[in-house]
Amino acid sequence: MPTSEFTLIYRYFSALGRGDAVDLSVGDDCAILRLGEGERLATSVDTLVAGVHFLEDTFPEDIGFRAVSVAASDLAAMGAQPLWLTLAITLPEADERWLSRFTSGLDAALEAYKISLVGGDTTSGQLRVLSAQVQGSVPVGEALRRDGAQVGDLIYVSGTLGDSRAGLELLQNPQSHAQQADYLLQRFLRPSPRIDLGMALRGIATAAIDISDGLLADLGHLLRRSGVAGQIELESLPRSTALHSFCDAAQAMRWAATGGEDFELCFTCPESRKSDIEAISAQLGLRLSAIGRVSVGSELEVKSQGQSWLNPHSAGFEHFGAQQ
Amino acid sequence: MPTSEFTLIYRYFSALGRGDAVDLSVGDDCAILRLGEGERLATSVDTLVAGVHFLEDTFPEDIGFRAVSVAASDLAAMGAQPLWLTLAITLPEADERWLSRFTSGLDAALEAYKISLVGGDTTSGQLRVLSAQVQGSVPVGEALRRDGAQVGDLIYVSGTLGDSRAGLELLQNPQSHAQQADYLLQRFLRPSPRIDLGMALRGIATAAIDISDGLLADLGHLLRRSGVAGQIELESLPRSTALHSFCDAAQAMRWAATGGEDFELCFTCPESRKSDIEAISAQLGLRLSAIGRVSVGSELEVKSQGQSWLNPHSAGFEHFGAQQ
């Protein structure tokens, strides 16, 4: 791109680099950042590709907000305090109107999660690609890893599941209707990474993961990494009234189990910490639902009304509902 | 992409996550990394887009090597010790042969610079886009910023300039010839970030930048950020015999001044540190050439055989050589 376009982009992004833990931000070869003693750095990168992770006609504000939120959700899943973001962005052209709107959504998310934009790279290419890298801090030994689930632990999820999938459906089929369409759309476009929950679960949860691929897939990852099995009850999956007003019960259940991109947390903890979980739920005003239990073995078993599926990524579960 | 392709990619990348400063690497929501007391974290991201930053038919090994090298060069320019890499990669398809070759080049660079791959995100999209984010450490207050150049400082560059631009020319015009074609090609395809030099310059250089856009543009950035002017002598720009065997003297000079992507360091230091610079040059076996001096004002003045240009990004200098 010509220098003038870089200047334009620099102008938009350099304003977002404020923050207490920032020595040097956008505009040098690297950002220089601070981290206290006894802290570990948590880092994660997520890429959004136009036409794959967002529709070409998505509002730029929503793309900006979502790019930060999706990456911050990985920090939440580690129990980390968000600190910094770098953004690698590839664009067909430096469209000032698009950039201004994109930056506004980006800034709203940075404000919400108290993250500083500390650097990036802007390149031209015939496809919109955004890579958001977040970094945060977590005290030594307190990160919520995927591999700590213990036999006998309860399995929890936060919030409600399947809403984001319904929101995507609304976007893809503008002729479809829902009583609470805006709520479902926002659940897809402006996900809420569970940052406060992740930090509250330090020292309580034995393992955690954020739900990006769908509950069954992500819980499967967690159990596999922990070397254990698990059972969950489909009926105990938390579903919103908005979801139920949009589709039939079987569809709602399928989306809650496999829909993905809810960016809620799925975590495990000993039954003895049940009261701690209830206290956290009350403090954050966030629903936390026990949906099953960790057991000996290596399979995820899904139960519903006398039926049961093993490792439900397989073809069997995809016909759930059609069989009912 | 189907899960099987993610598994394939995980298999390639998870092997590269070794390293002493790594608590938890590829395979969780975030990597968890360590940094000592009194250290600052330096971080930078660089994106390579197919057809823009590399030709579509570039060997995958070279793309992998170059992606790490270009990003590591920003750490060098800060005087930082490289530690970790995350890689966001968008590919039209998960081609195992391409990935295997790409990983081999990536690994060679990680080995060379002692960097651990600690995470990433792989997405599908109809354009190859690679975003490499590097992180390193630098003691508090010792980072080589762009904004520290002082009036009277000498201006230095490392190595030789213009080789990379000649290498690109060889790639784009396969019918062209050079006596040392392989050297020039390697200078473009496998740049050498000046990591050891950057660390050696801590406490000696007052400002530094790596040469990615071309010496005149990058030195211009450094002077502007420092609020000073500078004069350089074109004849003092270090050029290789390989470059001179490939093109005429005026072309060699133009490429040395503006060619870009040499990933050498340009830095400033007080004249009193001249003997330190000579000692570093001898120790590293790396040519370090004084090319000019920092002065009062805000313009970069380029001199050659009685001619002089101000702010040579302007049209005037582009005809250099043609005017001779």
| Model pLDDT, residue A25 | 72
Q: How far is A67 from chain B (nearest CA, A)?
A: 13
Tokens in use for A250?
Answer: 């079987």
Do the Cβ atoms of B232 and B297 come closer than 8 Å?
Answer: no
| Model pLDDT, residue A324 | 36
- Reported pTM: 0.87
| Model pLDDT, residue A276 | 98
Q: How far is B37 from chain A (nearest CA, A)?
A: 6
Q: Which residues pair with B26 in a beta bridge?
A: B28
Q: Which residues pair with A299 in a beta bridge?
A: none
Tell me how many residue pairs between chain A and chain B have CB atoms under 8 A apart: 197
Do the Cβ atoms of B216 and B257 come closer than 8 Å?
Answer: yes
| Model pLDDT, residue B56 | 81
Q: Which residue has the tokens 């930078």?
A: B44
Interface pTM, i.e. ipTM = 0.81
B156 Rama class: left (phi>0) / alpha (psi -120 to 50) / beta: beta
Residues 6+ apart with CB under 8 A from A97: none
Substitution target in A3, A30, A46, A122 with the highest count of B β-carbons within 10 Å is: A30
Task: Using an 8 Å CB-CB cutoff, list chain B residues near A23.
Answer: 40, 143
Edge-to-edge strand ranges of the sheet holding A116-124: A116-124, A81-91, A129-139, A39-49, B31-33, B22-24
Q: How far is A163 from chain B (nearest CA, A)?
A: 22
- The closest of A11, A264, A29, A32 to A135, measured between CA atoms, is A32
Indicate the length of chain A as a whole number.
Answer: 324
Please list the pLDDT of chain A residue by residue as tens digits (324 residues).
Answer: 444 555 655 666 666 666 777 777 777 777 888 787 778 899 988 999 988 888 888 899 999 999 999 999 999 999 999 999 999 999 888 788 888 899 999 999 999 999 998 888 888 888 899 999 999 999 988 999 999 999 999 999 999 999 999 999 998 887 777 788 899 999 999 999 999 999 999 999 999 999 999 999 999 999 999 999 999 999 999 999 999 999 999 999 999 999 989 999 999 999 999 999 999 999 999 999 999 999 999 999 999 888 888 866 544 465 555 443
Query: What share of residues in chain A are helix, strand, coil (percent, to 5)?
Result: 35, 25, 35
Q: Which residue has the tokens 């730029």?
A: A60
Domains and CATH numbers, chain A: 3-139 (3.30.1330.10), 154-318 (3.90.650.10)
Helix segments in chain A, DSSP class H: 3-14, 60-76, 96-113, 163-172, 181-189, 195-200, 215-226, 241-246, 249-258, 274-284, 315-318
Do the Cβ atoms of A122 and A91 come closer than 8 Å?
Answer: yes
Is A75 near chain B, with CB under 8 Å? Answer: yes
Give the span between the Cα atoms of B13 and B100, in whole angstroms: 10
Q: Do the chains contact at B32 and A46, CB–CB below 8 Å?
A: no
The beta-strand segments (E) located in A260-299 are: 265-269, 288-295
Local structure of A198: helix, strand or coil? helix
Q: Within 10 A of B37 (CB to CB), how many other CB atoms are there?
A: 9
Q: Do the chains contact at A30 and B84, CB–CB below 8 Å?
A: no
Portion 179-238 of A in contact with B at CB < 8 A: 208-210, 217, 225
Local structure of B316: helix, strand or coil? helix
Give the span between the Cα atoms of A247 and B168, in whole angstroms: 57
| Model pLDDT, residue B5 | 53
Tokens in use for A28?
Answer: 């040098």
Number of H helices, E strands in chain A: 11, 13
Q: Do the chains contact at A77 and B125, CB–CB below 8 Å?
A: no
Tokens in use for B168?
Answer: 């690109």
Do the Cβ atoms of A233 and A303 come closer than 8 Å?
Answer: yes
Rg (CA), chain B: 20
Is A1 near chain B, with CB under 8 Å? Answer: no
Q: Which residue of B has its CA nearest to A139?
A: B32
Local structure of B189: helix, strand or coil? helix
Chain centre distance of CA A253? 20
Q: Which residue of B has its CA nearest to A77?
A: B29
Residues 6+ apart with CB under 8 A from B61: B101, B102, B104, B105, B108
Tokens in use for A241?
Answer: 């009234």
In our burial notation (b when 16+ CB lie closer than 10 A, e otherwise), range A96-115 reads: eeebebbbebbbbbbebbeb
Residues 6+ apart with CB under 8 A from B28: A78, A145, A146, A147, A225
Q: How far is B102 from chain A (nearest CA, A)?
A: 19
Q: Do the chains contact at A86 and B121, CB–CB below 8 Å?
A: no
Tokens in use for A262?
Answer: 């809810």
Tokens in use for A202?
Answer: 């330090």
| Model pLDDT, residue A4 | 52
Task: Using an 8 Å CB-CB cutoff, list chain B residues near A44.
Answer: 29-31, 86, 119
Portion 130-149 of B in contact with A at CB < 8 A: 131, 133, 135-136, 138, 143, 145-147
Please list the pLDDT of chain B residue by residue as tens digits (324 residues).
Answer: 444 555 655 666 666 666 777 777 777 777 888 787 788 899 988 999 998 888 888 899 999 999 999 999 999 999 999 999 999 999 888 788 888 899 999 999 999 999 998 888 888 888 899 999 999 999 988 999 999 999 999 999 999 999 999 999 998 887 777 788 899 999 999 999 999 999 999 999 999 999 999 999 999 999 999 999 999 999 999 999 999 999 999 999 999 999 989 999 999 999 999 999 999 999 999 999 999 999 999 999 999 888 888 866 544 465 555 443
pLDDT per position as a tens digit, B147-177: 999 999 999 999 999 999 999 999 888 777 7
Give the span between the Cα atoms of A67 and A113, in whole angstroms: 13
Q: Which residues pair with B136 in a beta bridge?
A: B42, B82
Local structure of A251: helix, strand or coil? helix
B307 Rama class: left (phi>0) / alpha (psi -120 to 50) / beta: beta
| Model pLDDT, residue B309 | 83
Is B284 near chain A, with CB under 8 Å? Answer: no
